[in-house]
Amino acid sequence: MSQTSSPGPARMQKTSIATVCLAGTLEEKMRAAAEAGFDGIEVFEPDLVASPLSPEQVRDLAEELGLTLDLYQPFRDLEGVPEEQFQQNLRRLEAKFQLMRRLGVDLLLLCSNVGTATSWEDPVAVEQLRRAADLAAGYGIRIAYEALAWGRFVNTYEHAWSLVQQADRPNLGVCLDSFHILSRRGDVSGFREIPGDKVFFVQMADAPIMLMDVLSWSRHHRNFPGEGGFDLVTFMRELYATGYTGPVSLEVFSDVYRQTESVRTAREAMRSLQWLDDAQAGDTPAHPTGWDFAEVRAAEPSDLSEVLTQLGFADRGRHRTKDVHLFSAGAARVVTNDRTEAPLEHAGGSVIASVGLQVPDPRATAEHARALHFPKAWRANRADEMVLRGVQAPDGTEVFLAPTSADAPQWVGEYGERDAAPGGDVPGGDGLILGIDHVNLAQPWQWFEEGVLFYRSLFGLAAQVSNDVASPQGLVRSEVMRTPDGAVRIPLNLIPHGLDPGRSSDTRSVSGHVDHSELRLKAAYPQHVAFLATDAVEVARRARARGLRMLPVPSNYYEDLAARFGLDEGFLAELREHDVMYDRDEGGEFLHFYTRTVGTVFFEVVERRGGYEGYGAGSAPVRLAAQYDLDRQ
Ligand SMILES: O=C(O)c1ccc(O)c(O)c1
Ligand SMILES: [Mg+2]
């Protein structure tokens, strides 16, 4: 994190991570946190209790690793109880103070009472907090009081602060946890009421926006900043407005990260703080301006060429030195790999191996990728070929960075006949296809969150919609990452656990480089490139005349369409005839069709009428069912 503090926006001064965020033993967690560059950790009590290391050994290990032990947590159910019970609680508390001494930790997190407080009066709780603080003072310990969102009586930070303020002890302050505050839609502008030095600790977590009880949401679905839907940027700005300069710590309870490789998770965690620090300072990346290309590798490349030609793409020929082929239609460019890929053949799949995004300044984006520690994508190039910088997305897709250009990119001239309009565009797609509309990337479940942060932190894409799509093999969570203007849209589809063919949770080495097993994993799921057309029905008609096999759409779908929209009979018949699907909303209309899959990649042609911004509500489950059906034939 940047160490500059003034002038300019406030910057994160110190990073920390709760051990509960990471998989492994306490020692593995500590090593991972240190390796990723964290300044300190929060010791999560159950991790210590389960550890064979003595408190002194933990203290020594932290010192050896250069980590500070910033917080011991949690202490539960202290306040708001009858006197007799409180005295017992104080004894329990004192034992923890003694333990903290051995660990060398001087800050304790105290959660608001969720269970044992059965009747409540603020003055009683205030007095008890004061007595706890006085006991802590004897040990040189400070207490940070945190309102849990499901606290029985205290469940907002405002209430916690009010009690702390009344208790009025120098070693008693509050802990602000973004999850507890934002899950209840708390108003962070109230942070200004709290002096910065009474904020003793800050815990950050993001989460997907869900409608469920807060306890389950908190314990299973938190994720790192930038991976979810909370407004953490405003949270940080309001926090800094208090004058807070202490650690910003991550506290993520996640079913996913509890089972993924801890060093990789710790790196992702650190990246999330880098993103947050930049974003709150107003330092956001330039958006991509459009698609340069999509590259597909197939077990059977000739099938790909056939489908693209049937869609009306012009065959631009082979690359002059590589085993790849270019097809284009309007500004849609698809590169296919002409060599059968052994690992793909093995998986029976094909894969969207890379995409090219046009960005205003490829060098700046590449440098930003390096600062965020995303691994580079490497391709061998000859000296006279255009070199595109590239970066690997968490799912192994290589993302190449091309300069923004309204014309055909320069590299197009490396394909086909030297004298065939080098650099110029050959009119493919019968003039009906305009460009790439979106590229849908299947995300193995353990990398979905990382994928979201990748596109957000590097390209400034925002999550547009998140919904669950039913497939015959499980629910597919889908989230569209897009630029504000829609020039680049990347739906990420989370592959259900049930579809993961028994692979280990992490096939990427710690260094972050993709191996073939990762490509195989990706190749097991359908992914697609969607092209934007002026007239989807006409593209379908011509493609079918050239022999294209569409993905068949069941008759029930059209009966449902008729019931929903009251479409003109003739129009409906036309859609049905060409297996074209339809949707309509306040913005406009959407017509689209799918090709059959080649291996596991397929193409979609979409037509957006008016201001339609979606992807065809209701069509994805029909598509997944049709693909499943075809797979089994
Ligand atoms: O889920 C919990 O109990 C719990 C414990 C400690 C915390 O800091 C927290 O945010 C939640
Ligand atoms: Mg917390």
- Evaluate whether 59 touches 104 at the Cβ level (below 8 Å): yes
| Residue 203 is labelled as binding a ligand | yes
pTM: 0.93
pLDDT of 80 strictly over 60: yes
> Where does 513-618 have alpha helices with state H?
516-523, 536-545, 555-565, 569-577
Kindly identify the ligand whose nearest atom is closest to the C-alpha of 76: 1
Query: What average pLDDT does the segment 423-441 reach?
Result: 80
Query: What average pLDDT does the segment 320-339 reach?
Result: 91
Q: Residues spanned by CATH 3.20.20.150 within the chain?
A: 24-280
pLDDT of 467 strictly over 60: yes
Q: Using CA positions, which residue lies closest to atom 6 of ligand 1?
A: 74
Element (H, E) at 65: helix 55-65
* Three-state secondary structure readout of 259-299: HCCHHHHHHHHHHHHHHHHHHHCCCCCCCCCEEEEEEEEEC
- Residue 349's pLDDT band (cuts 50, 70, 90): confident
Q: Using CA positions, which residue lies closest to atom 2 of ligand 1?
A: 219
Which of 344, 257, 330 is CA-nearest to residue 519?
Answer: 344
At 423, give phi and psi (nearest 5°).
Answer: 80, -20
**pLDDT value of residue 510:** 44
CA distance 103 to 106: 9
Residue, of 7 and 459, whose pLDDT is higher: 459
| Ligand 1 first shell, C-beta below 6 A | 73-74, 109, 111, 146, 148, 177, 180, 203, 218-219, 251
What does the block give as tokens for 623? 């598509």
Residue percentage of the chain with pLDDT more than 90? 78
- Residue 507's pLDDT band (cuts 50, 70, 90): very low
Q: 132-136, 345-349, 523-527 — which is least confidently predicted? A: 345-349
Give the pairing type, strands 40-44 and 68-75.
parallel
Strand order in the sheet with 324-329: 314-318, 324-329, 332-337, 290-298, 350-359, 398-403, 389-392
| Residue 438 is labelled as binding a ligand | yes
| Residue 177 is labelled as binding a ligand | yes
In terms of phi and psi (left: phi > 0; alpha: psi -120 to 50; beta: otherwise), the region of 216 is alpha
- Residue 29 CA to ligand 1 center (angstroms) comes to 18
**pLDDT value of residue 338:** 78
Ion ligand 2: residues, CB < 5 A:
177, 203, 251
**β-sheet bridge partners, residue 353:** none
Query: What average pLDDT does the segment 174-198 reach?
Result: 98
Element (H, E) at 582: strand 581-584
- Residue 72 CA to ligand 1 center (angstroms) comes to 12
**pLDDT value of residue 509:** 42
Q: What is the pLDDT of residues 272-326, one digit of tens each?
A: 999 999 999 999 999 999 999 999 988 778 889 999 999 999 999 999 888 899 9
**pLDDT value of residue 385:** 85
For residue 85, the SS3 value is helix
The answer for residues whose C-beta is within 8 angstroms of residue 459's C-beta and 6 or more apart is 285, 287, 288, 357, 359, 365, 483, 488
Q: What is the pLDDT of residues 388-415, one digit of tens each?
A: 999 999 999 999 999 999 888 999 999 9
Q: Using CA positions, which residue lies closest to atom 11 of ligand 1?
A: 148
Query: What average pLDDT does the segment 150-156 reach?
Result: 97
**pLDDT value of residue 418:** 46
Element (H, E) at 237: helix 232-241
In terms of phi and psi (left: phi > 0; alpha: psi -120 to 50; beta: otherwise), the region of 416 is left
Kindly provide the ipTM of the predicted complex, given to two decimals.
0.99
* Three-state secondary structure readout of 498-526: HHCCCCCCCCCCCCCCCCHHHHHHHHCCC
**pLDDT value of residue 427:** 56
Give, for ligand 1, the residue of 70, 183, 218, 222 to mutate: max count of ligand atoms closer than 8 Å to Cβ: 218
- Residue 558 CA to ligand 2 center (angstroms) comes to 50
CA distance 517 to 505: 12
- Evaluate whether 323 touches 406 at the Cβ level (below 8 Å): no
Q: Using CA positions, which residue lies closest to atom 7 of ligand 1?
A: 74
**pLDDT value of residue 518:** 57
- Residue 453's pLDDT band (cuts 50, 70, 90): very high
- Residue 252 CA to ligand 2 center (angstroms) comes to 9
- Residue 59 CA to ligand 2 center (angstroms) comes to 22
Residue 55: burial class (beta carbons within 10 Å; 0-12, 13-18, 19+): buried
What does the block give as tokens for 47? 């991790």
pLDDT of 440 strictly over 90: yes
**pLDDT value of residue 523:** 65
**pLDDT value of residue 422:** 42
What does the block give as tokens for 277? 């620090």
Q: Residues spanned by CATH 3.10.180.10 within the chain?
A: 290-631
- Evaluate whether 374 touches 458 at the Cβ level (below 8 Å): yes
Q: 85-94, 109-118, 373-382 — which is least confidently predicted? A: 373-382
- Residue 207 CA to ligand 2 center (angstroms) comes to 13
Give, for ligand 1, the residue of 112, 157, 221, 251 to mutate: max count of ligand atoms closer than 8 Å to Cβ: 251
Find how far residue 587's CA is from the centre of its chain: 27
| Residue 45 is labelled as binding a ligand | no
Give, for ligand 1, the residue of 21, 107, 148 to mutate: max count of ligand atoms closer than 8 Å to Cβ: 148
**pLDDT value of residue 430:** 81
Q: Which atom of ligand 1 is nearest to the CA of 175?
A: 8
CATH number attached to the domain at 290-631? 3.10.180.10
Query: What average pLDDT does the segment 160-183 reach?
Result: 98
What does the block give as tokens for 328? 């284009």
CB atoms closer than 10 angstroms to residue 632? 7
CA distance 532 to 613: 12
pLDDT of 62 strictly over 60: yes
Listed in order, strand segments (DSSP E) in 397-537 are 398-403, 433-443, 462-471, 474-482, 489-494, 527-533
**pLDDT value of residue 506:** 40
CA distance 239 to 202: 9
Establish how many alpha carbons lie within 13 A of residue 343's alpha carbon, considering only the half-sphere containing its beta carbon.
14
CB atoms closer than 10 angstroms to residue 296? 25
- Residue 497's pLDDT band (cuts 50, 70, 90): low
pLDDT of 460 strictly over 50: yes
At 87, give phi and psi (nearest 5°).
Answer: -65, -40
Average pLDDT over the chain, rounded to an integer: 91
pLDDT of 515 strictly over 90: no
**β-sheet bridge partners, residue 144:** 109, 173
Query: What average pLDDT does the segment 453-482 reach?
Result: 91
At 224, give phi and psi (nearest 5°).
Answer: -80, 155
| Residue 158 is labelled as binding a ligand | no
Query: What average pLDDT does the segment 16-45 reach?
Result: 98
- Evaluate whether 153 touches 80 at the Cβ level (below 8 Å): yes
- Evaluate whether 208 touches 221 at the Cβ level (below 8 Å): yes
**β-sheet bridge partners, residue 298:** 350
Max intra-chain CA distance, the chain: 93
pLDDT of 505 strictly over 60: no
- Residue 142 CA to ligand 2 center (angstroms) comes to 16
Q: Using CA positions, which residue lies closest to atom 1 of ligand 1?
A: 219
**532-547: b (≥16 Cβ within 10 Å) or e:** bbebbbbbbebbbeee
- Evaluate whether 18 touches 251 at the Cβ level (below 8 Å): yes
**506-524: b (≥16 Cβ within 10 Å) or e:** bbbeeeeebebbbbbbbbb
Kindly identify the ligand whose nearest atom is closest to the C-alpha of 253: 1
CATH number attached to the domain at 24-280? 3.20.20.150
Using the 8-state DSSP alphabet, how is residue 340 labeled?
P
- Residue 472 CA to ligand 1 center (angstroms) comes to 37
pLDDT of 501 strictly over 70: no
Q: 185-189, 366-370, 622-626 — which is least confidently predicted? A: 622-626
Kindly identify the ligand whose nearest atom is closest to the C-alpha of 250: 2
- Residue 508's pLDDT band (cuts 50, 70, 90): very low
Q: What is the pLDDT of residues 580-629, one digit of tens each?
A: 999 999 999 999 999 998 888 999 999 999 999 999 978 989 998 998 88
At 3, give phi and psi (nearest 5°).
Answer: -95, -5
**pLDDT value of residue 8:** 83
